[in-house]
Structure formats: structure tokens, C-alpha cells
Amino acid sequence: MSKPPGSLNLVRKLVLASIIVGLLPMILGFSLTYVSQRGAIQKTMGSAFQVLAHETGAKLSLLVNDLLDKAIELARSDALVRAAGEADRKYQGLGPEAVRERVERAAAHWKSSKDSERMDRPAVDMLEEFRQRNPAQYHLLVLTDREGAVVAASPRRAATRYLYRDEIEWEAAFDEGRGKLFIGDTTWDPELSAYTLNVAIPVRRNGEIFGVLILNHTVDRLFKSVTDVHIGHSDHTMLAASDGSLLFCPIFQIKNHTLSKGFSQAIFRENDGWTTTQVDVHYPGREAINGFAPVNFKIEDFSPKSLGGQRWYIFTSQNPEETYAPLRSLLHWTAFSAGIGSVILIVLAVLVVRTIVRPITLLRTQARDIIQGIQSLPMERRTTATPYVLPKIDIHTGDEIEDLAGTFYEMTGVLERTRRFLVETTHRLEEMAIRDELTGLYNRRHVLEELKTEFSRSVRFSLPLSCMEIDLDFFKDVNDRYGHQVGDRILRQISELFQKGFREPDILARIGGEEFLVILPQTDVQGALAKAERLREQVTQHVFTIDYGRTIRLTISIGVAVYPDERIQNIDHLVKIADDALYQSKRDGRNRVSRG
């Protein structure tokens, strides 16, 4: 019987049916793979960028706090307090009009005289010494009196002005004797041809403000602390103000770019997080993943005029090409494998349908065994880096089907290694987020979370809870005399000594430069004081190694707070009482334990 025109024979029908049946699952698999893997990549990278933004913001906050601590210490120095006090005595007994005339007369003669000789020499020397201890960080240091007139400056040749009372930083720091600590916005200084950050500290004596210390700080160190942080090759970490101005960016100049309203709304949040947007700074119109975190400064007596009235935010940006590169690689590899499979399917269908059905059925069965084996694993096993041993796909046909089986097995191995890599990376990032880099102890953020948990447990079950705050006595002198490398070595040694002095449930953390916090669950006041005294004696008797056989001895001051106490309603009260007790120990002469 002749075939009707256009009819297909059985081989062609089988080949065509095989192609259709093979293409439909392939397209569906591509779609499912794309959707599932894209979501997994977004979640993994978003979480990593969130941690990166948070840690960068915390590092920036620590740098700013360190800058302010040094400035406050300088403002409290005897030389500067004495110089401002002597300048203040010039106005004693004068009325407002006489004071104004005296200041204007001095300003008029400022340029015509040898300006450096009019300054207080010991105060100038103190400012010079401070600049030498902090090289390349300060353009100008100026000490003024209560009228804004220059008392001392470093470098002296840079003090081209006599009056600073009209400057916003001076007004905020003095404020008619009610001033507070001030941090300015990043501004362009035309005289220096550089961006700077002004800091103003009130100079006090017996609580009275009678002068202001102004520090013109470079932004290079802060800029690098933000922009030098990376995870991949094309990502950037940046700093923006709440008005949308881009402050620190490795591509755009400072304040030379403004974030779009939509992007600002996406990343300016109270809490850190991550999001996907199509209004990214560097890749607009393309879906990018952005991590973000607000910069929280732990600063007391902070002027509301600081930072130009704005708030700072850290956020990340990465080229979507790099972000989704693993997904594209997976899709390309899958497409390549599927293409080979299609060719093999067509050839074997034409040659011998019966031969091709059997190994494909076997391959499908064993592949399902692998999938079911993975799906049967408990969730905690899937989220650990323990390798999953894939069952060997056992097909021996001596042709492309066997190659396809081997390729599929290699692909599952690649996926398993990728899973382990992502799990290990996530675990490392989580550990970095809760540990102090220098000592390996818990950091401030983590210990406060633990304290919140222990406090809730103590309140719920009526259990005692003790909190111990520790500070190394005269540790600044160690840093000043031997250098910060020795100081870091001492901090590591004393951290090891502290760890030996506490039992398993106790939680030890480094919360500042030389400050430590210890949580003592289910420990009453007698037990806490006994532990504190024992620890103090151990430190007093311990010999700390500096280098090359040199040793020193140190002492510590400890403040102890114990719950239950009617003054303690939350962890802030508990920490505050321990902190007050610590400072009581310092006021009483150090090297002692005080209970709050």
C-alpha cells in the first residue's frame, strides 16, 4: 500500500515524538532551574551583601568613635584647658561692648603681627604633637576661646583666620555655653583642594565651656574603610546621606551624584537588609541586588546639627553580570548537556529505538534515586557542609548515553560542591559578624543579644543574673609607650587569661578598645564578686610578654551589677549599673572591684 502524500514513516514519527517529548521537559526544566536558582542566588548574595553593609557601617562607626575619642582626650588635656582658661581671663571684668571691641582690635592686628608669637606656645606644641601621632589625618587643629578667637593652631602657618565664631561647627560646639560635640558634613576645602570633615569639641573646666577645639580631618581613612570592602570583582560599597547625596564611592566623586528617589526609598531603612532594584547607582534598568545598613553612632552629647542634619547609610552595588554568573553558567551547562542528549536521542531513535529506551529508562531511574536521596535528607543535613555522597550512575552502553550519564553525574557533583561552598561561606560570614577580629571573643552586638536572652530567662524563671564590666588600667599608657602592636598583643594575652577564668555558661566579649563585658547566668552577687576578685588577682599576678623577653604587669578595674535589683528593669539598666560601678572602681584608685 502506498503512503499518502506527506505521511511520515514510523522512524520519523518516533524521532519527531522524541524531539517533542525531549524539548518540553527541557524548557520546563530550564524555567524551574532559572526560577529556583535565581531566588537562591538572590537570597544568598543579598544576605552576604547585608552582612557586608552592616559590618562596614560598624567599622565606620568605630573609626568615627575613635576619631572623637582622640579629639575629646585632646580637648581635655591640661595644656589646652590651661591655654583656653588664660585666654578667658582676658575678658574678665569687661562688659559685652568692651569684649567685642577687644576681639575686633585683636583681629585687626592679627595679620599685621607675627601670628605664631600671639599663640599659646604649650598649646601649640600639644597640637603639633597630636598631629604627629596621627599623621596624614588632620589638615588643621585650632583652639579658640569663648569668643571664637584663635588661641593656638597647628600647623601655625595654616591658621589664616583669627575668628571662628561664625562657623557652624564653632556655634554648635559652644552654643552660648550649652554646646555639644559636633561632626560636620563632608565639604570641599578650596584652600586644601580636598574634601574634609570638621569636628568641634567643647573645652570645659568644672562643667563650664570656655573654649572650642576645631579639628579639620581628612576623609581618606574613612573613604577607604568604606570603598575598599569587596566580596566579588565588580561590587562596590558606598556611603550616602539621607538627602540622597553620594558621599563615598570608588567611581563618582564625593557629592557629585545624587541617588534617585526610588533607590533612596529602597535602601534608607531603620534596619539593615537587602533588596532587588532596577534603579541601581551603577546599573540602572537592570535588576541588581543591594545590601544596605544605617550607620549608627554610639555617641553621647551629640549635636543635632552634626552631619548637616543628615543620617548616613552604607549600601552595596554589584554588576548583575557577576551576580548571576553562576546561574548563567548552570543554564549553559544544562543546555549543553541537554543538546548532547537531544543529538544522541535522535541518532539512537533512528538506528534502534529499542536500544535507546532501555538505557534512558535506567538513567531516569537512577537520576530519580539521586534526587529522592537528596530530598530524603533532613533539613539540618542540607544546611551543613558535610558532603553528600552521590550514588554512582551505573550505565555501560559504550556510547553517548553512557557519556550523558557521566556528564549528569559530574553536574550533580558540581551542584553539590557549590552547595557546600555556599554553606561554608555563609557560616564564615555569620561567625565574622559575631566575633571580635583581634581577640576572637564575641563582639558588642552579639553579647548584647545574648544578654537580652539571658535577662528574659532570669526574669521568667526568677533566676539571678550578673553582669561584669572590665577595663584595663592605664592601657593607653601601654599603647603610647610600646605602640599599638604591643597593645594588640596584650589584648590577645589578657583575652586568653579571661577565658580561662570563667565557666562554660559564662559569656565573655570585647565591647571596646580595652573594655570587656561578661555575662554570668544564674550567678548571685556573692558568686559574681568572688569571680571578679579572683580574676582581678589573676591579672595582677600575671606577667605579660611584650617582645624579646620584655614583660610588664597590668591591673584591671571591674564593675559588677546583679539582677534582681529594683533599679534594673531592662538590660540597659543592668549594663549602666555595671558601667557606673566600673567608673567607681577607677575613681577609688583602680585595681579593684566595685558593685553597682
For 327-452, strand residue ranges (E) read none
The span from the CA of 391 to the CA of 527, in Å, is 56
**Which H helix or E strand runs over 250?**
none
Q: In whole angstroms, how far apart are CA 174 and each of 83, 167, 412?
A: 17, 11, 68
Residue count of the chain, please give it. Answer: 596
Q: Which amino acid is at 341?
A: G
Place of cell 539571658: 454
The span from the CA of 486 to the CA of 550, in Å, is 11
Going by the DSSP 8-state scheme, the letter that residue 306 receives in this structure is G
**Which H helix or E strand runs over 214?**
strand 208-218
Closest CA to 276 of 578, 45, 65: 45
Q: Are 593 and 505 in contact (CB under 8 A)?
A: no
Phi, psi of 95 (to 5 degrees): -80, 170
Question: CB-based burial of residue 259 (10 Å sphere; 0-12 exposed, 13-18 middle, 19+ buried)?
Answer: buried
514 is catalytic: yes
The span from the CA of 246 to the CA of 321, in Å, is 23
Q: In whole angstroms, how far apart are CA 33 and each of 325, 336, 596?
A: 14, 14, 60
CA angle 368, 410, 427 (to 5 degrees): 90
Closest CA to 519 of 504, 533, 530, 534: 504
The span from the CA of 516 to the CA of 558, in Å, is 9
The alpha-helical segments, DSSP class H, found in 112-219 are: 115-118, 121-133, 168-174
Q: Are 254 and 247 in contact (CB under 8 A)?
A: yes
Phi, psi of 549 (to 5 degrees): 85, -5
Dmax (CA) for the chain in angstroms is 130
Q: In whole angstroms, how far apart are CA 62 and each of 59, 192, 292, 336?
A: 5, 26, 18, 50
Phi, psi of 251 (to 5 degrees): -110, -55
Q: Which of 514, 515, 533, 566 is catalytic?
A: 514
| Neighbour tally for 201: CB within 10 Å | 26
Q: Are 583 and 575 in contact (CB under 8 A)?
A: no
The span from the CA of 559 to the CA of 566, in Å, is 18
For the annotated catalytic residues, the residue numbers are 514
